[in-house]
Chain A
Amino acid sequence: MRWFRQYGILSLAVIFAFLLGSLGGDIPFSYSKEDMESVAKKVGTTTEAFYTTGSNQVYYQIELNLRTLDEIIEMVEEAEDFKTVMDPMVEKLEKLTISYERIAAFQPQIEEELRRKVKELQDLLRISKGQIRILEDEKLKLEEELQGLSLEQDEEARNIRERSLEMQIEFKTKEIRIWEEFLSLENKIYETVRDADRTISKFLLVLSENAKVYRGALEVVKLQRDINSLANFMNLQHFSDELISTWQDLQYLVELLTQEVNKLPAF
């Protein structure tokens, strides 16, 4: 009997805790400073992850190409007769071509990963939008409650409730405004990342096309042993400038987004 009582109490406690937990699920989500902080942190890490997705592999290949180009320049500068350096130059050009072809091979996977990061940012944007919508609903409920106060008989109680509701509405409005500013910054980051995604895709396309140009030049050099065909480089300047400034913009925006969190009081 004692055993039954002990386990009975324990079971009741578990059931009560379970019920309390399920009740907690119905309580609206708390839109505290921590929530905004968490979204800001996720936006920051996703943006950083976006700007480093696949870049290491491409960086290594380009670094390799830079060294190869240096070797070619040194070779050409020191050469008294082109015929003597033609074979090692073809070898270096082949190395350069293979490296660009490797970058071209990375392209689909990198682009897929970049799209995934853009999607993650889009989801985070949706979370912030959802939070604003819920806050607006809460504000609307408070306003309705305020309007319904006219039916209250007790004047003193009505005044106290009125003042309290007005303050709550004011806080809610402020909270919504801060979340809207946050959303606007988040949106700017998303748009910048989306533009950067397009630029990186174009950049990768140029590098892939470079691989084809190099392969073509290599075939001609191999066939004709003609140095004119070596002087064949594509212009990457425009995309490079765009990508450099984008990262600076993004870093600045993420910094602003983190600062926005501090505007919200801790609830």
Chain B
Amino acid sequence: MVLNMEEEKEKHKRIKWWWLVLVGGMIFFFLFWGSRGWERFSPPRTWSDVAILTKEIEEKGRELNQILQEKLQLIPEGENSEGR
């Protein structure tokens, strides 16, 4: 009986440790992600990469403009402005 209790205690202790490792890992992961620490391991972005991304922004901007224009045409005149 005493031995069983001891085993039980030991088991609880082990589970506690596993929980601690899991929670610690999660905290580390969130802190690491939050501080953008992963960027240390990724190659630095060049101005060329920035320019490529900006081109994508431009394309998206054009896409949005086009969608907005199409949507605007569907709205009867005078209804596209709500006013305050």
Chain A residues close to B by CB (< 8 Å): 51-52, 55-56, 58-60, 62-63, 65-66, 69-70, 72-73, 76-77, 79, 82-83, 86, 196, 200, 203, 207, 223-228, 230-231, 233, 235-237, 239-244, 246-248
Contacts and interface: CB of A to CB of B under 8 A. Distances in A.
Interface residues of B, number: 34
B60 A225 contact: no
Main secondary structure of the interface of B (DSSP, over half): helix
Contact of B58 (A56, A228, A237): A237
Given A56-B44, A224-B82, 16 more contacts: A51-B46, A55-B45, A60-B36, A62-B57, A66-B53, A66-B60, A69-B57, A203-B50, A203-B54, A207-B54, A224-B83, A236-B54, A236-B57, A239-B54, A243-B51, A244-B48
Interface of B: 36, 39, 44-58, 60-65, 67-69, 71-72, 75, 80-84
A79 B74 CA distance: 12
B57 A227 contact: no
Given A66-B57, A236-B58, A240-B54, A228 B80 contact: yes
Contacts of B58: 233, 235-237, 240
Nearest to A59: B45
A82 B48 CA distance: 37
A82 B83 contact: no
A227 B83 contact: no
B80 A62 contact: no
